[in-house]
Structure 1
Amino acid sequence: MPQPTAEVTHTLQVAADPRTVFDLIAEVTEAPRHFSAHLHAEYLERGETQDVFQRWSVERDQETIRTWTARRRLDREALTITFEHETPKPPVSSMRGEWKLTPQADGTTSVEISHHFSVVGDDPETLKWASAGLDRNVQGQLEQTKAIAERWAELQELTLEHEESLLVHGSLDDVYGFLYEAGAWPERLPHIAATEVKEEAPGLQIVDMTVEGRDGIAQRTRSARVCVPGKLIVHKQVLGLPPLLDVMLGSCDFAETADGVLVTARQTIVIKESAIEEKLGAGATVADARVHLTKVLQDGVLSSVRHAKAYAEERASATV
């Protein structure tokens, strides 16, 4: 029996040049800093005109992490990106589509995205439900694409990144385990008062924390995490962001060397421009916020890693 199918097309005008819009859509590993639902992405295959990537996103009011794989063809001359999901989420059984960007005479871009999909079974209500969900998601994605592309130059000034590495003279299992086992943080990290960890699939964590601030006031936060044993932990704060930030995300990479385990921590933030004067004083500028937050990043990017280092090295010395 043929599966029910549907085709849905959405369009939007964006006050930005088509190359900016194309790059924003094409660079999937940069998406987590721009799109609220995107948590992480990795290329599985990558060429100049085609790629395969795996993406992780946060869904259901920041309570669930979903992952899927997609294959794409990118044509920078024609300004099109075709895609096909290799692992669609049931009841959707197949999903493919295309981004099409059309330059306008006034320098803006017409953005069109089409989806062609099918669902399992022969119930028309299932197709209707899937169509409604797709419509909501795509509308939200287009609105965010428009907002980001139209503020592209401004957002570059509002974005800060910092990276530092630390060598740990201990085992990979211990240092990774310390940072992975968020449920034990209240006993291991002085600024964490309580945690609640939900892990519906191995390595995909939603972590609710009560954090003791520098001012002594406790704050509730929620982070989504992708944990790859012994290799990588990616995190993005999805609730309870500091008032001066619109985005806060980061990662820890782990590499065994002849001298120990090299842990590289990265942090990326996007400044909330509307909060600068309220938090830093009348007349404060983006430049002032960058100076202030650069110091915060430098002080904090390795904070938890230093505790993991002490833990792993103490355990290593105990076994000598």
Structure 2
Amino acid sequence: MSSQRVHASEQTAWIAAPAGVVYGLLADAVRWPLLLPTPVHVERIDFDGVRERLRLWDVAGERVRSFHVRRVLHPRSRTVEFEQEDTARPGAPTTGTWTVEAHGEAQCRVTLRQERTVEGLPAAGTARSRQEWDEEPAAQLAHLTAIAERWERLDELLLSFEDSVHVDGPAELVYDFLHRIGDWPERVPHVESASVTEDVPGVQVAAVDTCATPDGRTLSTKAVRLCFPSAARIVYKELVTPEPIAAHTGEWSLLPDGDGVRVVCAQQVVLREEAALRLPGAGAAGLVEARRYVRTWLGRASTETLRLARWRAQTTVRRLR
């Protein structure tokens, strides 16, 4: 027999970080893709300073999910109420509350309480669903703890930068080049191989081998790419990153620029501290040299891709004239 059941869950973690720091990480959902493992991209649709509506893409196993979240932020009590509207299960939202309680100046307790209605599952299926559902918040709390407890060094570990080129040509040609990442091994010298699946239109999973590091090593990465052709944007997050990098997100965007278009590649990185300190020249200089190394390496790769996109677009326009 199928049934309708309510799953309730409460999980708690003690975090060696100030309560204000932890609440700030929870409140700033737009930065979650860089700080937490499963979110790929978060877009804020509405926000009045207290209430907000978000669209969030994340990965669950091999599947990319998309859903809307309504949240109410309470900075004084350090609580965040939420309602998650899963498009795969209409009418059965997940609701809950994050609560951050200060225990001294450098420690806090975080509690995640949530409820979800499950319809149409037999009892055995409900038990499996509950186990999987309970594992997800436990993983969220573990990753939140790991990033929050590095709060004093977080600014040194975070790296944000962008590269851009002007193109005298239509945005459609540039976007087509960036979208067709499966063709990059024949078009972009530092890309050795690329395997792309797109089970859902606009959602690409790309496994890519590149050779763009200063020492010529081949690196394997895997990324989710969300393609928005009407907005001329491609947002991505690497799920598998090379050793110096703990997390890597970015966006290709095309902006009107005079008679042409400006193509921007914006990237955000969290360094894996232990590996970053082993990079060439990083020893005495610490993370300063490691940041410079990663910025140069990733910037060289993005700049080469941008210039080739420009060349292809402008060459195509000249041929058509």
SS of the residue corresponding to residue 21 of structure 1 reads helix
The 8 Å contact of residues 100 and 110 in structure 2, kept in 1 or not, is answered as yes
Matched, 1:287 2:288: yes
Matched, 1:56 2:65: no
SS of the residue corresponding to residue 308 of structure 2 reads helix
State the TM-score, normalizing by the size of structure 2: 0.92
Q: Which moved more, 1:279-288 or 1:23-32?
A: 279-288
Match of 2:7 in 1: 6
SS of the residue corresponding to residue 93 of structure 2 reads strand
What is the percentage of aligned positions where both structures have the same residue?
Answer: 27
Instruction: Provide closer, same or farther for how the CA distance between residues 157 and 115 of structure 1 changes in structure 2, counting only shifts above 3 A.
Output: same
- 1:256 is displaced (CA, Å) by 2.8
SS of the residue corresponding to residue 36 of structure 2 reads coil
Match of 2:65 in 1: 66
- 1:105 is displaced (CA, Å) by 3.7
Given residue 293 of structure 1, which amino acid in structure 2 is its aligned partner?
Answer: V
| Cα distance between partner residues in 1 of 2:36 and 2:163 | 25
Unpaired runs of 5+ residues, structure 1, are none
Match of 2:181 in 1: 182
Given residue 173 of structure 1, which amino acid in structure 2 is its aligned partner?
Answer: E
Match of 1:142 in 2: 141
| Cα distance between partner residues in 1 of 2:82 and 2:247 | 27
Match of 2:269 in 1: 269
Unpaired runs of 5+ residues, structure 2, are none
| Cα distance between partner residues in 1 of 2:152 and 2:318 | 50
Q: Which moved more, 1:152-161 or 1:118-127?
A: 118-127
Given residue 289 of structure 1, which amino acid in structure 2 is its aligned partner?
Answer: A
SS of the residue corresponding to residue 280 of structure 1 reads coil
1:107-127 Cα offsets, whole Å, 9 max, x none, are: 421111111111121522232
Match of 1:302 in 2: 303
| Cα distance between partner residues in 1 of 2:10 and 2:101 | 15
Given residue 320 of structure 2, which amino acid in structure 1 is its aligned partner?
Answer: T
State the TM-score, normalizing by the size of structure 1: 0.92
- 1:238 is displaced (CA, Å) by 1.6
Instruction: Provide closer, same or farther for how the CA distance between residues 269 and 105 of structure 1 changes in structure 2, counting only shifts above 3 A.
Output: closer
The count of aligned residue pairs is 317
- 1:185 is displaced (CA, Å) by 1.1
Instruction: Provide closer, same or farther for how the CA distance between residues 299 and 209 of structure 1 changes in structure 2, counting only shifts above 3 A.
Output: closer
Given residue 115 of structure 1, which amino acid in structure 2 is its aligned partner?
Answer: Q
1:193-218 Cα offsets, whole Å, 9 max, x none, are: 22111111111110012223455554
1:98-247 map, 5 Å? 98-105=97-104, 107-121=106-120, 123-214=122-213, 215-230=215-230, 231-239=232-240, 241-247=241-247
Instruction: Provide closer, same or farther for how the CA distance between residues 196 and 107 of structure 1 changes in structure 2, counting only shifts above 3 A.
Output: closer
Aligned-CA RMSD value:
2.1
| Cα distance between partner residues in 1 of 2:91 and 2:144 | 24
| Cα distance between partner residues in 1 of 2:304 and 2:22 | 36
The 8 Å contact of residues 18 and 105 in structure 2, kept in 1 or not, is answered as no
